[in-house]
Structure 1
Amino acid sequence: MYLGVDLGTSSIKVIVADAADRVLASARCPVATARPAPGRVEQAPGEWIAAFETAMDALAASDGALLPQVGAIGVAGHMHALVLLDALGAPVRPASLWNDFRAHDEARELAGLGYDDRLGVRPMAGFTGPKLLWTARHDPDALSAAERFVFPKDVLRHYLTGAWATDPSDAAGSWLYDQASGCWDAATLSACGADGLTCPPLLPSGDVAGHLREPLARRWGLPPGLPVATGAGDVAAGAVGLGVVREGDAMISLGTSAQVFAARAAYRPNTGRLVHSFAHAVGGTWFDMAALLNGSGALDTTADWLGYADVAALLAEVEAQPDGPGALLALPYLSGERTPHDDMSARAAFVGMSGGTERWELARAMIDALAFSLADGRDAIGAAPDEMLVIGGGSRSDVVCRTIADVLGATLVRGEGGEVGPALGAARLARAAATGAALDDLGPPWETAERIAPDPARHAAYAPRLAQFRALYPALSPTFQSLGA
């Protein structure tokens, strides 16, 4: 058995999987997010630990007989956050997350340095490096009190083992890491005001980074001294869980945010298209990723706006309607957008409403907008196959997956357990740490549960709507900027 831990933006998930990647038990706990001011999105690292403990307590209470059989632990977590810790390992301020865009001015300034190709992407406000520069300018006391920076999953692993480390995939998302050489980039660290900070040691994702502390082993009935893998950023871990590790493999991830992801055998930066070219969790492998800040989280917010009990009720009402493009257009940019706009002022919009518009039509428009954004992402990364795997909580919805397939004209492949892809990938990293097996030789994670093929007529009907969607952002962008959103 292997324990996989995924620290997501909205919740932490823990699973127990066997050597055949069957998920035998799981538990989760929500994580609170604070928005103390416009553009600021924060979480308290201590709450990550508390949520993990709550999830593990639930797992031990319901499936405790499995835990003594666990052979290793792996961790994954959301990327790009800035976590500053003092010499004792305590946070000096709340962690700013991937969708925090206070550092938009700093990102624009850093973009002029010409470092993008070796760092894999143009600097963007949500990345760790620009946020470090913002902290140096606007909260210098916090930076002076800090001894090191780490990433969210590393806080969990340190809690488990007492050892600090990180992996190349998380480091790649910081805009502080030289992708080709595999080292921290001294020039960028200096430009971001981080000269005095200790960088976490870099270890491969599937290596043993430490061993489980005895008090925690006793608390949950786990074997003492369990190896704990270095782990990976959540997107890379999800790709490992799916087996998306070789050139030509591709997937769509539908969490709070969304990604279009293609594995690459070589480092080929594509910074002009705002593609993220990052080190993979599999050594000697990279990935190209279109990063969308607004994934299924946009549907959750739309459900709140429209008075649905929850997003499941929204999806059920749309499911009862005919498939195909709705009467309205929407933009899903609740948190700005990275690929393809790199515009933190971009916002959501509905266009085409009348006095007779029903709420399901607004819901339909936002589902369409999510699919249109994914089409933008696939076009940005270039070569992508006509068949793509799909994971994340949003992948559980039939109507969402059908809409994406119809808009992209691509078949989506969904497997049982896809909604826990990063946690399953973390469990695979644990298996690699325990057995020494290569990550690209662990076999497929599950048998395909369903292939969702595009409908040719609906794909043709969506083509002019996609063009209208792509015209909407440039038309509204000046207004978004003038509103100062």
Structure 2
Amino acid sequence: MSADLLIGIDLGAGALKTSIIRTDGTLAGEASAALATSAPRPGWSEQDPANWWRALCETTSRALAQAGGDAARVAAVSFSAGAHTQVLEDADGRVIRPAILWNDQRSGAETRDLREQADTRILAIGANRANPTWTLPQMLWLRRHEPEAFSRVKRLYVAKDWLRSRLTGTWETDFIDAVGTLMADVSTGGWSPELCDMIGWPLDTLPPIIPSTAVAGRVTAEAARATGLAEGTPVVCGTSDTAAETYGAGMIREGLGVVKLATAATVSVLTRAPHPDFTVINYPHVVPDHWYVIAATNSCASAHKWLRDTFFRRDGEDGSAVFTHMDRRAAAVEPGSEGLFFHPYLNGERSPHWDPLLRANYVGMGFNHGPGHFVRALYEGIAYSLRDCMQALNAKGLAFSTARLTGGGAKSVLWRQIVADVLNVEVELPAVAEASFGAALIAGVGVGAYADARDAARAIDIVWRTSPDPSRAERYAKGHLIYRDIQAALAPLNHRIHAFVQGR
């Protein structure tokens, strides 16, 4: 039998997922494994990369078994993972410290210093503004607070590249993830000596840059024994999770939006060129000569899980069943949650506020509010935050009338409809709406299973559509104004709370 299967491996903040697809885009097998995040201090977010590798070995063997167990049928493997997250190795190839994740907020002071030093220059070179989620300020934090670790760094890997190196033994990244470090020059397509000099970072610790769809290496004999893959299987570079998700959702034409309801939530739109601005994020896209522009909210499915685990789940209960119960309770509540508002700032916020000190809240509680109100208000609050993001894009002339949904939150029919009503756009759901699917398509492009990146995206099937309800859209437009006013009123108090927690 010919090699007709493609594997995409996505490293998420909460789990690693392996998906195996056929070249026609249908799913042949999948498996996921949960990952633990450590928070040694408030605002910190770290993981042990060794756990990523164990999850990869476990899920790959399980997914292969579902797909029939013949590893020789796999034409190629590729990867995606959260941008900004880095793994640091010393001269002996040992991981120096836990990986600082993209949602970590420890580098607030370093971000302020970089902005004061070179705010507009960083934007001009890197097409993005320094923020605590980016690698550049995180590595400045490392230099200041862990100088011994900083001095030992021989190689910096972006997360998906470190995992891929476990299969191939090679060291490289793609330009999309390079831009995500805020150490690259978007005009040259290479690393920026000027940006690296701002934090004293040695250029020789940064990997060669290759295309996302390039074959980076092949599965080694050792990796084959650990994973069940066949030795010699081509491994394609891959890219960041949002790039893979938007591509896997079919964002191959300008004016189509993609809304991601995952650990974090994002709103993305495809463009011909970057739009450098202090309010949005810019990345190159998998489709050649295109970029995608993002506005993002830090907490989405992570906030949903927090609500479940904190208030709804009992010991031993199945988490998926609890989500289903929560969804039913929320569906019984009227739009607007009878005046209950939720702001999802459980770990600070990105667009449009860019404030790591914002805190989450429920506002407007009364005796009339029951469990379902709190769930629906969470759905609505995250959708309001996405409306903030969409308005940031609209202000740049990047409007869209149709959005495709990705991420685990898109499984909820109710949440999908709330997003359509709050954003007042038509919403479409692809058959497979996950980064691992996009990574599998990228694997296929890399080994010639498709004519090009656009051809691969034609395998995407849309299985659900909805339009916004005019009356609900009007009500949510009024609710969003209240949501914004609550945020503005509480922001100074959030800062005071932060100082209080810090003992100041």
Q: TM-score range by the shorter chain?
A: over 0.9
- Please give the secondary structure, in 2, of the residue aligned with 1:71: strand
Q: Confirm whether residue 10 of structure 1 aligns to residue 17 of structure 2.
A: no
- Give the conservation status (yes or no) of the 8 Å contact 1:395–1:401: yes
Task: Show CA shifts across 1:95-149 (max 9, x none).
Answer: 0101111100111111130221331221001110000000000000001111121
Letter in structure 2 aligned against 1:30: A
Count of residues in correspondence between the two structures: 481
Question: Take 1:415 and 1:247, find their aligned partners in 2: how far apart are those partners?
Answer: 18
Question: Take 2:66 and 2:288, find their aligned partners in 1: how far apart are those partners?
Answer: 36
Residue equivalent to 1:292: 297
Q: Confirm whether residue 195 of structure 1 aligns to residue 199 of structure 2.
A: no
Q: Confirm whether residue 78 of structure 1 aligns to residue 82 of structure 2.
A: yes
Residue of structure 2 aligned with 1:92, choices 96, 99, 105: 96
Aligned-residue offset at 1:238: 0.9
Letter in structure 1 aligned against 2:326: L
Q: Percent identity?
A: 32
Q: Confirm whether residue 267 of structure 1 aligns to residue 271 of structure 2.
A: no
Q: 1:164 to 1:403 in 2, by over 3 A?
A: same
Question: Take 1:319 and 1:466, find their aligned partners in 2: how far apart are those partners?
Answer: 20
Residue of structure 1 aligned with 2:362, choices 350, 356, 366: 350
List aligned pairs for 1:4-403, cutoff 5 A: 4-112=8-116, 113=118, 114=120, 115-195=122-202, 198-218=205-225, 220-269=227-276, 271-272=277-278, 274-308=279-313, 310-382=322-394, 383-403=398-418
Residue of structure 2 aligned with 1:404, choices 409, 419, 424: 419
- Give the conservation status (yes or no) of the 8 Å contact 1:262–1:288: yes
Aligned-residue offset at 1:404: 0.7
Question: Take 1:184 and 1:312, find their aligned partners in 2: how far apart are those partners?
Answer: 46
Letter in structure 1 aligned against 2:421: D
Question: Take 1:180 and 1:247, find their aligned partners in 2: how far apart are those partners?
Answer: 22
Q: 1:220 to 1:141 in 2, by over 3 A?
A: closer
Question: Take 2:435 and 2:203, find their aligned partners in 1: how far apart are those partners?
Answer: 33
Residue equivalent to 1:481: 495
- Please give the secondary structure, in 1, of the residue aligned with 2:106: coil
Question: Take 1:148 and 1:443, find their aligned partners in 2: how far apart are those partners?
Answer: 34
Aligned-residue offset at 1:217: 2.9
Larger mean CA deviation between 222-231 and 29-38 belongs to 222-231
Letter in structure 2 aligned against 1:55: T
- Give the conservation status (yes or no) of the 8 Å contact 2:332–2:372: no
Aligned-residue offset at 1:32: 1.0
Q: Confirm whether residue 469 of structure 1 aligns to residue 483 of structure 2.
A: yes
Letter in structure 2 aligned against 1:48: W
Letter in structure 2 aligned against 1:406: D
Aligned-residue offset at 1:86: 1.0
Aligned-residue offset at 1:153: 0.4
Letter in structure 2 aligned against 1:426: A
Question: Take 1:403 and 1:462, find their aligned partners in 2: how far apart are those partners?
Answer: 9
Letter in structure 1 aligned against 2:91: A
Question: Take 1:458 and 1:325, find their aligned partners in 2: how far apart are those partners?
Answer: 12
- Give the conservation status (yes or no) of the 8 Å contact 1:255–1:392: yes
Letter in structure 2 aligned against 1:321: V
- Give the conservation status (yes or no) of the 8 Å contact 1:413–1:452: yes
Question: Take 1:236 and 1:406, find their aligned partners in 2: how far apart are those partners?
Answer: 26
Question: Take 2:203 and 2:445, find their aligned partners in 1: how far apart are those partners?
Answer: 34
Larger mean CA deviation between 222-231 and 320-329 belongs to 320-329
- Give the conservation status (yes or no) of the 8 Å contact 2:18–2:59: yes
- Give the conservation status (yes or no) of the 8 Å contact 2:196–2:203: no
- C-alpha RMSD over aligned residues: 1.6
Q: 1:343 to 1:387 in 2, by over 3 A?
A: same
Aligned-residue offset at 1:57: 2.7
TM-score of the superposition, structure 2-length normalised?
A: 0.92
Larger mean CA deviation between 129-138 and 189-198 belongs to 189-198
Aligned-residue offset at 1:66: 4.5
- Give the conservation status (yes or no) of the 8 Å contact 1:328–1:351: yes
Residue equivalent to 1:432: 445
Question: Take 2:75 and 2:155, find their aligned partners in 1: how far apart are those partners?
Answer: 31
Letter in structure 1 aligned against 2:409: G
Larger mean CA deviation between 60-69 and 47-56 belongs to 60-69
Q: Which runs of 5+ in 2 are unaligned?
A: 315-321
Question: Take 1:384 and 1:211, find their aligned partners in 2: how far apart are those partners?
Answer: 42
- Give the conservation status (yes or no) of the 8 Å contact 1:329–1:350: yes
Task: Show CA shifts across 1:169-195 (max 9, x none).
Answer: 111111111123211111111112312
Letter in structure 1 aligned against 2:361: A
Q: 1:62 to 1:222 in 2, by over 3 A?
A: same
- Give the conservation status (yes or no) of the 8 Å contact 1:9–1:256: yes
- Give the conservation status (yes or no) of the 8 Å contact 1:83–1:152: yes
- Give the conservation status (yes or no) of the 8 Å contact 1:208–1:229: yes
Task: Show CA shifts across 1:382-424 (max 9, x none).
Answer: 2221111111100110111111100111011002221xx2111
- Give the conservation status (yes or no) of the 8 Å contact 1:80–1:98: yes
- Please give the secondary structure, in 1, of the residue aligned with 2:8: strand
- Please give the secondary structure, in 1, of the residue aligned with 2:181: coil
- Give the conservation status (yes or no) of the 8 Å contact 2:441–2:457: no
- Give the conservation status (yes or no) of the 8 Å contact 1:132–1:193: no
- Please give the secondary structure, in 2, of the residue aligned with 1:442: helix
Question: Take 1:422 and 1:480, find their aligned partners in 2: how far apart are those partners?
Answer: 34
- Give the conservation status (yes or no) of the 8 Å contact 2:256–2:401: no
